[in-house]
A and B are shown apart, each in its own frame.
Chain A
Amino acid sequence: MPDDERWIDADAGPVVRPYALTRGRTRHTGDSFDLVATVVTTGMRIPDSSFLAPEHLNVLQLAHAPTTVVDIASDVDLPLGVVRILLADLRELGLIVIRAPVTMAERVDKNTLMEVLNGLRGL
């Protein structure tokens, strides 16, 4: 360990600039996906040859149960753009699938609107 190495805690702020995690990439691979698209793991084994950062593994962990792109971004506390790139990497490896939210394709139908209304009234 070099002499000048110091321990830096979370209060010091990010030690690694967010886009260093993506190796400088600012655009993700493959099809674009919505902020509220559903993300879930496929159950596939991580290929031995893959290079995954701890952040990739964090994201993967969170997607064991279906969740959304924004929920993941919020939970890992990384900027949305970075999380998108990590998600696209995982998708490319076949480790997760990203599904368009149901409401996207169809606009919100009346039944769902009624459900939302009743849900809000019951809050």
Chain B
Amino acid sequence: MAYAGFEYPGGTARQHRAIKILLAGGFGVGKTTLVGAVSEIKPLRTEELLTEGSLRSDSTVGVEQKTTTTVAMDFGRISLRSDLVLYLFGTPGQQRFWFMWDELAIGALGAVVLADTRRLADSFPAIDYFERRDIPFIVALNNFDGARRYDAEDVRAALDLDPGLPIVHCDARSRDSSKQVLIALVQHVLSSSPDEVPMTRQVL
């Protein structure tokens, strides 16, 4: 089969810009829901990571409705412009998934730690991870039906977060609310990034 007629890469075609945003949080916290609310969600299989043993160890205490757990990565795609695409990766919060995060975090714009106020401790590993690697992030509190709506400052104290770190409330089922979460992250990254002149791409 011949592929004549396709432009040789490295030519003059416009570069496709891919922006990565990470969405971290414990099982059942609403990552899949948020990705689905705001983007075109696509299936993405990773290697089989869960053994029967680890399935049993995944805590579902305090999660009323979720009986199965998401093994595959949540992957969403938002085309912002023809050459600018936002990719959302929802990754489980447990330590054994960190090998995935290490890769996802490279060059990522930032991260959203999605938290359930009934199980705040589930978000500790993700917060630690991003703090240690200096990856900009915000915390989004998913307000489940019937869950008490905590004050952001109480959550800040409970999670020992820096004063400047944005904590937003959201409803992961709502497209607009989920969109606001992403906007809050980008604004946070913008406000914390130095005022340097953007680097121009090197022409080889």
Contacts and interface: CB of A to CB of B under 8 A. Distances in A.
Interface residues of A, number: 47
A78 B45 CA distance: 6
Interface string A84-123: 0000000000000101011111111111111111011101
B42 A74 contact: yes
Given A77-B45, A97-B10, A120-B186, A38 B18 contact: yes
Given A36-B20, A45-B3, A119 B9 contact: no
A108 to B, nearest CB: 5
A66 B75 contact: no
A117 B186 contact: yes
A57 B199 CA distance: 38
B132 interface: no
Interface stretch (B50-58, B79-87, B153-161): B79-87
A80 interface: yes
A108 B47 contact: no
B60 to A, nearest CB: 25
Contacts of A34: 103, 106-107
Interface size class of B (residues with CB under 8 A): 35 or more
A119 B193 contact: no
Interface string B82-99: 001111010000000000
B193 A38 contact: no
Contacts of B196: 110
A74 B77 CA distance: 11
Contacts of B84: 112, 115-116, 119
A40 interface: yes
B44 A116 contact: no
Contact of A79 (B10, B45, B77, B199): B45
Given A70-B87, A79-B46, A112 B3 contact: no
A68 B18 contact: yes
B9 A120 contact: no
A117 B183 contact: yes
Interface of A: 34-36, 38, 40-46, 64, 66, 68, 70-71, 73-75, 77-81, 97, 99, 101-117, 119-121, 123
7 contacts: A43-B6, A46-B1, A79-B47, A110-B195, A114-B190, A116-B186, A120-B80
